[in-house]
Amino acid sequence: MSQSDEGDTVDLAEGIDHQVAMVMDLNKCIGCQTCTIACKTNWTEGGGREYMYWNNVETKPGPGYPKDWEDMGGGWNESGEERTPGELPDEEEYGTPWDFNHEEIMYEGSDEPLRPMSDAASWGPNWEEDEGAGEYPNSYYFYLPRICNHCTHPSCVEACPRSALYKREEDGIVLVDQDRCRGYRYCVEGCPYKKVYYNAMKKTSEKCIFCYPRIEGEGPDGEVRPPSCAADCPPQLRLVGYLDDEEGPIHKLVNEYEVAVRLHPEYRTEPNVYYIPPFAPPQHSERGESLDAERIPRNYLEELFGPKVNEALNTIERERNKVERGEESEVMEMLTTEDTADQYRLEVFDDAEE
Amino acid sequence: MSDQRETHDSTDDGLDLARRDFLKGIGATATVAGSASVLGDDLLGMDGLEVVDDPIGSYPYRDWEDLYREEWDWDSTARSTHSVNCTGSCSWEVFVRNGQVWRESQAGDYPQFDEDSPDPNPRGCQKGACYSDYVNADHRVLHPLRRTGERGEGMWERISWDEALTEIAEEVIDAVQDEEYDAISAFTPIPAMSPVSYCSGSRLTSLLGGVGHSFYDWYSDLPPGQPITWGTQTDNAESADWYHADYIIAWGSNINVTRIPDAKYFLEAAYNGTKRVGVFTDYSQTAIHCDEWIGPDPGSDTALALGMARTIVDAGLYDEAHLKEQTDMPLLVREDTGKFLRASEVPGVDVDVERADHVFVMADAEGELRVAPGSLGARDGQHDETASIELDFDPQLAVDRTVSTADGSVAVRSVWNRLREELSTYTPEFVTEETGVGRETHQEIAREFAEADRGKIIHGKGVNDWYHNDLGNRAIQLLVTLTGHIGRQGTGLDHYVGQEKIWTYEGWSKLNSPVPSRSVPTTLWTYYHCDVLDNADAETTRRVQEAIDNDWMPLYPSEREDGSRPDPRIMFIWRGNYFNQAKGNVAVEEQLWPKLDLVVDVNFRMDSSAMYSDIVLPSASHYEKYDLSMTDMHSYVHPFTPAVEPLGESKTDWQIFRELAAKIQELARERDDVVPVQDRQFDREIDLESVHEDFVRDWESDEEGRLADDREACEFILENSTETNPPDSDAQITFDDIDGTDEDNPERVRAVGDHWTSDLEEGEPYTPWKRYVQEKNPWPTFTGRQQYYIDHDWFLELDEELPTHKRAPTLQDRAEYPLNYNTPHGRWSIHSTWRDNEKMLRLQRGEPVVHLNPDDMDARDIEDGDTVRIYNDLGSVEVQAKQYPSGEPGTARMYFAWERFQFPGRGNFNSLVPLYMKPTQLVQYPEDTGEHLYFRPNYWGPTGVNSDVRVEVEPVDESDGSGGGGDE
């Protein structure tokens, strides 16, 4: 629990000094997957991690990655005290990382086309890209980037019989102890977001580590860097910092303006990744006129982000109207990338603790 | 909450493992508590696993965390970028570990110069984020290769550099000695992406008397409406300027897919009070982030734009002062001939110039006929900064009268009145009927755009790939002209397709061709040598032939004195994938390719052009060389620097062509039959015995041997360009200043030369056209004004003197081929680069797909994931069907640039696309002197046509094998 001068509190897990957090602005996500690639080249290129996407971006509505993860259970029941049973995704639901026949075609005279060498290329991490739902011209879709939520009430941690998952005291990052883990995969079942992956080569489970070596400044240059997914994002849609940094934009967007909301709050793991919900151009009539009708159904957004999404969208609209009239808006300013160097408040607590 | 109450039946495996493996690295002081432990005391006791009291916040065994810390490690970094035909011009930090490129991340090192815009950093996209894959890829070309099988078969023998260069040099020497130097073609696109690599081959080609190829027109990136109306190839605001607009229409420009590094300015403008309207046939990846989306039927954008123009005019929302001063609207046109009324025809109009027949006429408020300032006849050439279009009288816009001429009384009307008559066709009812866009909606958007303080149109390839692209361009341009949204920050029509311009134009140009050199419009060259003239309709054939005969467009090899014309003989391809990307792919393979005796591809990867070449030379990757990078999306100049040595036997492009020059010189000196050849077109001799010396000489300073390596060539460009070495200033940017070491980061160019249309202002994004709009220099058109009326004979014959909406020509029968075929630029590749990248393919479906509307799929019994055949009368390709509910029914959309070897049977996305071009794009204007429109590579010339193509799609019965009639 963190106490501010005014006596407001920011809910952190008990025993956690500070909590890393991210706000992702879905109105800036263009589905380019630069985050996905940045994460992959940093952490999951080989050694059994090839199929893993610690960071993925999926088109919504859609089954996502792994396929239909939202139907797989996990998380906590209504009381928040008992875990809800979860399923283990199978290989087809992730998709296998295809290998290709470049050499045969380019240098060995094969007349086959360049293709995944496995027969069963029937699913992958972005298989339903751009599909969404609805019918032309009133179809709708948007992109949802996802990493581990580093939850305040993580069901993966609770699920592990060996207590090999834990939440770091200093920043709330949830990790799988690679020495202690034996690959039972209860965490994979238990995570309702399916953000823990089993490494069949290592026989351990692995997951997004919030790039802790980067935020700790552990590279040869000693530089504190934000997680790769955020640093490399072209539209800079991710704010990274600490939820309990009350001067920071994350706290303001989440707790003060309440425009950043949790994905599937009903899973009750209390994620620390928050989303600015998407708006979209209005629907068209049969005669090609723009209508005063929202394109993305509110009930779908409520399904994803819970009832708080309504007030969040209303606030965003109000704030956009303000700037259109030429007035100031702190919310709009926080969502604008004025200076990437200042955007990441990752060293705010360093002085106090050293 | 830390107690772990839940128990599981662990699998046998798990328990066995747990028993076998004693946990390592657990601190000895950990307590064994855990009466409520999951696994019970038994197990814990047995394997000695120490219990964790509270994994939330007090986990005691954290030494293992070094595992991932050790992965965040590298030995060195270098600053580079990517030489692909992309406007991104991004900056990357390349990490090297154990002597190999490990990965790259956004360098984010562009200095911010405009405090009112968002941070320019970072700029890279997902493709750039895995370029390192190509450095070490399976498909990297590591050695010189000579084809052993058929072209395209992928059978090679490894040869030495000396063998390769000798074979090529012999062919080149023979061609020059046969006086067929103009049968040597060199195709490489886009200098801005890496000017030194560009110049490597074209400098040699110039010295050999060979032919440089245009690309911007060929790729259908050139918007012909811009040279037609504005007298300029294209000029665009850098993307930071988007943020200064109050109203943006993204018109066929899928920013969120094709301008990923710039999308931020569009997205964040939403938080700055800007309204963003998207005009796309599909509910595109950019449409989803607009405030309003309208979806005109494919090919109907011109009607929509003219309908919006009509609304603006009818509502009186046009900028009258702008039209009078800056446009041809007040100019008078003869009713009898359709030609502009010339000052020479009107006795009494006071004009004191030599070429009064190139001077135009307006009527002032009193009805007096007056000379229009800025007319071509009253200025010194196309660009004349001493002339002005500023008015000292008030011309009438609406004129309909007679004037007395030397030939008697002639009825005249102003362009404005003619335009109003043209616009009267585009009633709201007609527009809705023709485009499917609602009558209220398109009028409302037109009014809002006109009333905005700063309106901007971002114009893209989606409206440029059409046969009638010139008409579409002119119609959409008309919207910014009518409203005066041009020549100020936050306004204009920005056409972002390809990097047509290079900031350091002068230095590049001097490096590229130290001697007068040949260029050819690639569309015409390809069209001609694919023998399309034999099959085209009679009128097209007549006009193409006339344009060639009139010397409006050059064609090489040139016609010989006896009337014959040799075939092209040798082709060099580098930094591009001509063979894959060619429209009319079937004709290119079947007609053009057999004419070429030798095809040489210089490449780091085995692309389709390399596959269909005779010799492939391995070039350095983008992380293994020095070069420069620029784009018109931003105003920085920044470097490639090598992170590692070129892999295998690869060499930099500069080194390869320099060594080829050396080999040519060496062999020419050895041979007895080699003598200097007089160029038939230019006053120079082609001297093979000095070609290497000429290649490495700095022709500006006459310093011998200076340009031996690529870094020195970078320096030459920087030194010889106004942008990086302004005259009368000590503000020079040298390569050392930007090479990424220490704090030496990209720098904004210092000034701009005269190939730009505005000055560069401190603290403001570059925005074009200020020299005309604000400084009142004449526009470089015939009339000296934004010219919407073109009185060229051909335009008059075809009723295209003003922008007008025409339906697409019928290239394929609509009944037989009911679907539009559209090949837009997708997010997963920059043209064919990255199309074959494993990481990218894993995030798609691993193979080419066609996006279909679900209704079209249902009607053809196609399901998502099925293999389908797309075909028309040109060809047929097999791909996977993907359902795309946001695609308009009636369109088969295949994001382009899949390589030939990604299709069964080696078809191609371009196998379905004919070679076609519009004859009006071959003209010279004025017909006799051509100051306004004349061939200049990538500036004015015929564009390729991609979008007026129709296809049908059918499921492929996969049990049916290759279609050979199996019955099981």
| Facing A281 at nearest CB: one of B62, B291, B883 | B291
| Residue A187 · residue A165 · CB < 8 Å | yes
Contact A336 B118 (CB under 8 A): yes
- Write the burial class of residue B12 (CB in 10 Å: 0-12 exposed, 13-18 middle, 19+ buried): exposed
For an interface test with A, which of B288, B300, B852, B858 has the most A Cβ atoms less than 10 Å from its Cβ? B288
Q: Measured between CB atoms, does A277 come within 8 Å of chain B?
A: no
- As a whole number of angstroms, the distance between CA B634 and CA B334 comes to 44
A307-349 per-position pLDDT tens digit? 999 999 999 999 999 999 999 999 999 999 988 877 899 999 9
Q: Measured between CB atoms, does B118 come within 8 Å of chain A?
A: yes
Using the predicted structure, report yes or no on whether residue B402 has a pLDDT greater than 90: yes
Q: Tell me which chain A residue has its CA closest to the CA of residue B435.
A: A288
- Residue A207 has which token pair? 């997951």
Phi, psi of B637 (to 5 degrees): -115, 135
Which amino acid is located at B158 in the chain?
Answer: R
- As a whole number of angstroms, the distance between CA B758 and CA B772 comes to 8
Q: At A50, is the secondary structure helix, strand, or coil?
A: coil
Using the predicted structure, report yes or no on whether residue B17 has a pLDDT greater than 70: no
Contact A179 B23 (CB under 8 A): yes
Q: Is the dihedral of CA B500, B503, B506, B510 positive or negative?
A: negative
B122-141 per-position pLDDT tens digit? 999 999 999 999 999 888 99
Q: At A275, is the secondary structure helix, strand, or coil?
A: strand
Q: List Cα–Cα distances, B733 to A202, B504, B719, B761, in angstroms.
A: 52, 11, 8, 18
Size of interface A-B (CB pairs under 8 A): 348
Q: Measured between CB atoms, does B111 come within 8 Å of chain A?
A: no
Interval A25-46 mean pLDDT: 98
Contact B432 A288 (CB under 8 A): yes
pLDDT at B25: 28
- A82 to chain B nearest CA, in Å? 9
Contact B264 A234 (CB under 8 A): yes
Contact A332 B271 (CB under 8 A): yes
Q: Looking at the whole model, is its pTM more than 0.80?
A: yes
Counting residues of chain A whose pLDDT is more than 90, the rounded percentage is 92
Contact B272 A166 (CB under 8 A): no
Nearest by Cα to B758 from B236, B174, B88, B181: B236
Counting residues of chain B whose pLDDT is more than 70, the rounded percentage is 94
Contact B57 A30 (CB under 8 A): no
Contact B836 A30 (CB under 8 A): no
Q: List Cα–Cα distances, A131 to A126, A136, A275, B887, in angstroms.
A: 10, 11, 21, 9
Contact B156 A107 (CB under 8 A): yes
Using the predicted structure, report yes or no on whether residue A352 has a pLDDT greater than 70: no
| Facing B292 at nearest CB: one of A14, A127, A290 | A290
Q: Which residues in chain B (515-544) have CB-CB distances under 8 A to chain A?
A: none
Using the predicted structure, report yes or no on whether residue A43 has a pLDDT greater than 70: yes
- Residue B773 has which token pair? 């709009």
Phi, psi of B158 (to 5 degrees): -80, 130
**DSSP H helical segments within A184-243, as ranges?**
186-190, 212-215, 228-231
Q: Which residues in chain B (42-81) have CB-CB distances under 8 A to chain A?
A: 49, 51-52, 54-59, 61-62, 64-65, 67-69, 71-75
The DSSP bridge partners found for residue B402 are B411
* Element spanning B852, H or E: strand B849-852
Using the predicted structure, report yes or no on whether residue B629 has a pLDDT greater than 80: yes
* Element spanning B199, H or E: helix B195-208
| Facing A139 at nearest CB: one of B17, B125, B886 | B886
Rg (CA), chain B: 31
Residue carrying the six token digits 């931003």: B634
Q: Measured between CB atoms, does B28 come within 8 Å of chain A?
A: no
- B711 to chain A nearest CA, in Å? 27
B776-822 per-position pLDDT tens digit? 999 999 999 999 999 999 999 999 999 999 998 888 899 999 999 99
Q: Which chain B positions have a beta carbon within 8 Å of A166's beta carbon? A: 52, 55-56, 59
How many Cβ atoms sit within 10 Å of the Cβ of residue B860? 16
| Facing A232 at nearest CB: one of B129, B290, B901 | B129
Q: Is the dihedral of CA B442, B443, B444, B447 positive or negative?
A: positive
First to last CA, chain B: 62
Q: Which residues in chain B (929-968) have CB-CB distances under 8 A to chain A?
A: none
Residue carrying the six token digits 């697409």: B808
B828-886 per-position pLDDT tens digit? 999 999 999 999 999 999 999 999 999 999 999 999 999 999 999 999 999 999 999 99
Nearest by Cα to A294 from A173, A140, A176, A102: A140
- A299 to chain B nearest CA, in Å? 18
On whether ipTM exceeds 0.85, the answer is: yes
Phi, psi of B20 (to 5 degrees): -65, -45
Interval A13-30 mean pLDDT: 97
* Element spanning A195, H or E: none
DSSP letters along B733-795, please?
--HHHHSSSTT---EE-S---TTSSS---TTS---S-HHHHTT-PPPSSSSSSB------HHH
Q: At B330, is the secondary structure helix, strand, or coil?
A: coil
- As a whole number of angstroms, the distance between CA B946 and CA B709 comes to 39
